[in-house]
Amino acid sequence: MKDKHALCAHRKGYRVSEDGVVTSSKGNEKKLRVSGRGYLTFSVRSPKDKIDGSCNVHKLAALQWFGILELDQPGIQVRHLDGNPRNNKRNNLALGTQSQNMMDRPANDRLVHARKAAKVLRRFTDEQVRTIRSMKVRGSTHRELCEEYNVAKSTISYIVNRKTYQDVR
């Protein structure tokens, strides 16, 4: 499946300059908005093609500069090398994998994203982890903590020795 909005915009003559500015076929600069995910977008409409919606600037740029859309090749994404989804300058965009795309983000953003993703997998709250560590320091045994929290000894050991929940202080 292709990005129909970027294809439509490209067919209609919209282009992205080296500096990331979007212009129409008449050379008029398009007014851009910021999407809920932080990307710059603009409106594109083609009643003939039944298209009416937002086009991501980075996707139009990828089509224009690299000749493909990320959906043409499974596993390929448009990367913002500086991690800023609003910077659509040519020297800031590249194609790559999701892993490469994630590594383009600042370290703190990656941590926040990872914590959100892992939240469903986390068994303990940050407060419970602090309590387990505190109880261990005050003399509780691994066995007592295992029984209290109904987990394996290795789980308690990993928490106490910061092999898991390293970000909890």
Return the CATH number at 52. 3.90.75.20
Residues 144 and 90 in one domain: no
**DSSP characters for 132-147?**
HHHHHHTT--HHHHHH
Looking at residues 139-167, what average pLDDT do you find? 94
Residues 110 and 130 in one domain: no
What pLDDT shows up at residue 95?
92
Residues 49 and 80 in one domain: yes
Structure token pair of residue 84: 């800023």
For 154, the domain range is 126-160
Is 41 strand, coil or helix?
Answer: strand
For residue 4, the Cα-to-chain-centroid distance in whole angstroms is 21
Residues 95 and 39 in one domain: yes
Residues 22 and 101 in one domain: yes
Helix 4-11, helix 57-66: angle, nearest 10: 60
pLDDT band at 79 (very low <50, low <70, confident <90, very high): very high
Query: What is the overall mean pLDDT for the chain?
Result: 90
Residues 27 and 108 in one domain: yes
In a domain, 20, yes or no: yes
Above 50 in pLDDT, residue 1? no
Number of domains, the chain: 2
State pTM to two decimals.
0.67
Residues 42 and 85 in one domain: yes
